[in-house]
Amino acid sequence: MSTPADRPGVELTIHQDEYHQAGPGRRDIQAVVSVTVTGVRPVPASAAEVVVIDCSESMSWPQSKIEAARRATAAAVGLLRDGTRFAVVEGTDSARVVYPRSPSLAVAGAGTRAEAVAAVRRLRPGGGTAMGTWLTLARELLEQAPGGIRHVLLLTDGRNETEPPGRLQQVLAACEGRFTCDARGIGDGWDARELGGIATRLHGTAAVVLQDADLEAEFTGMMRASLSRALPDLRLRLTPLPGVTLRYLRQVHPTEVDLTAAGRPAGERAVEFPTDPWASETRHYQLCLTADPDGRPRDERLMLADVQLTSGDTAGPELPPPAPVLVRWTDGAQLSAPNPVSVHFSTHGRLGEAVADAYHAHREGDRARAEAVLDRVLRLAHQLGDRSTLDVLADLLVSTEPDDGPARLRERFDRRHFDRLLLSSRHSAPVPDGAPLAEAHSQPPGPDLTCPVPDCGTVSPPGSAFCWACGTALREAR
């Protein structure tokens, strides 16, 4: 699609299997919605950044942790473009703005960047860890920003032990949709499920920093990625036909984000879903609709829903035409081969489920079960061409070649590699060109499962063993 040189280009594609067997009762119809944006040019005045640094007592040992945090924060601040609004927050059992001096946002320029770096060099560890308090202050600061690009960069080395249980989830609910957050864990005293839950609810990334010296590169990478996102107002609008209902809409690439609850009415039947700010990139969304084949024609293309992109910015990108979600009801077997894009992300969902299972087995000290499940993870990662997962497995397993026999854990390994594996499973691999994919698997029958964690409440598909958002075991919810 052609577009003026000064406006981003946007493409919309629907990937799906049209043929579905008819039968009694309603049927789930899944499709993958792919959106590609090109030609995004960053606009400094629209961005607001808050850097939150854990300065609890545990950051004092070893001393290299707080030193690395100071260097990394200074490097990230140095990347801010003139006009970007920003602040630096010190996190302990309270939260304090260390720059600027008042609890507000500064405007980046040569002078303010230098002042912020000087303030960061004075950070000293002491106190506890209250991440909900930190994120609340970040939200209050970002609410002062007039633009639509709001981002938090968070570093911690510990668990959220200073606040009452459930407090963090309440804060995340209040922050969701207000800003995005990338979180990093340093040292070995933090909880991957907790950090991953923050990133999932706030539509960001979470990762392990194994070496303190690597923190600067992590911070600058996150800051560059955030500053490249300059298209804030792009929404997905879904209009189901009468009798068709939405079950869920989830972003499945590059990271997993459940958008279902964020939908807002946009007409008689239309529902509109916000998306996070865009750089030049491609994202994939998994859409699930339910429809009843009873009384509908067989072997004809029938429209179930209309998908389109909208924007409130009249000077924004030129938007593509709407695309339909279709179905062909058949009384026989499925006539078409599974769509490779749909199969890819269905397979990635099974990989994430297996990773969560292996993580829990390891935490429970069940080495035999962890190895058995990691064998499944290994084979799924090869089927997906998931290089990131295979790289992490190489630090856990004796061999990552499926032909070498069942997966075996190394005799000695850094347990944080299991944290890496859990967090990396939230980042799906792109669809490889021409790579063999696993067979499609239908969704198990039964009701959806709701996460039992207070204030999480994420709904996962039938048969799930773990909450896809926070990783909590769902066995007790069955």
Q: Check whether residue 294 and residue 318 sit in a common domain.
A: yes
Using pLDDT thresholds of 50, 70 and 90, give the confidence band for residue 455. low
Q: Check whether residue 62 and residue 197 sit in a common domain.
A: yes
pLDDT in tens, 283-317: 999 999 999 999 999 989 999 999 999 998 766 78
Q: Check whether residue 36 and residue 73 sit in a common domain.
A: no
Using pLDDT thresholds of 50, 70 and 90, give the confidence band for residue 440. very low
Q: Check whether residue 71 and residue 210 sit in a common domain.
A: yes
CA distance 3 to 85: 30
The pair of three-digit structure tokens given for residue 163, joined into one six-digit string: 């606040």
Using pLDDT thresholds of 50, 70 and 90, give the confidence band for residue 253. very high
Residue 478: pLDDT over 50: no
Q: How many domains does the chain have?
A: 3
pLDDT for 299: 87
pLDDT for 336: 59
Q: Check whether residue 25 and residue 87 sit in a common domain.
A: no
Q: Check whether residue 148 and residue 199 sit in a common domain.
A: yes
Strand segments, DSSP code E, in 199-260 are 206-209, 235-240, 245-253, 257-258
Say how far residue 350 (Cα) sits from the centre of its chain.
16
Mean pLDDT throughout 231-251?
Answer: 95
Q: Check whether residue 326 and residue 367 sit in a common domain.
A: no
Map residue 424 onto helix, strand or coil.
Answer: helix
> Residue 272 burial by CB count (10 A; 0-12/13-18/19+): exposed, middle or buried?
middle
Is residue 18 situated within a structural domain?
yes
> Residue 48 burial by CB count (10 A; 0-12/13-18/19+): exposed, middle or buried?
buried
Q: Check whether residue 34 and residue 54 sit in a common domain.
A: no
User: In the chain, what percentage of residues exceed pLDDT 70?
Assistant: 88
Q: Check whether residue 221 and residue 235 sit in a common domain.
A: no
Q: Check whether residue 254 and residue 216 sit in a common domain.
A: no
Cβ-contact 409, 374 below 8 angstroms: yes
* Full domain range(s) for residue 223: 44-227
CA distance 267 to 191: 43
Query: Phi/psi of residue 401, each to 5°?
Result: -95, 120
Q: Is the Cα dihedral 313, 318, 321, 322 positive or negative?
A: negative
Q: Check whether residue 308 and residue 348 sit in a common domain.
A: no
> Residue 444 burial by CB count (10 A; 0-12/13-18/19+): exposed, middle or buried?
exposed
pLDDT for 466: 62
Is residue 4 situated within a structural domain?
no
Mean pLDDT throughout 147-166?
Answer: 93
Q: Check whether residue 21 and residue 48 sit in a common domain.
A: no
**Single-letter code of the amino acid located at 452:** P
CA distance 391 to 54: 28
pLDDT in tens, 202-229: 999 999 999 999 999 999 999 999 999 9
Strand partners, 151: 49, 180
Strand partners, 248: 288
Rg (CA), the chain: 23
CA distance 51 to 65: 16
Candidate ranges 256-260, 342-346, 366-370; pick with highest mean pLDDT: 366-370
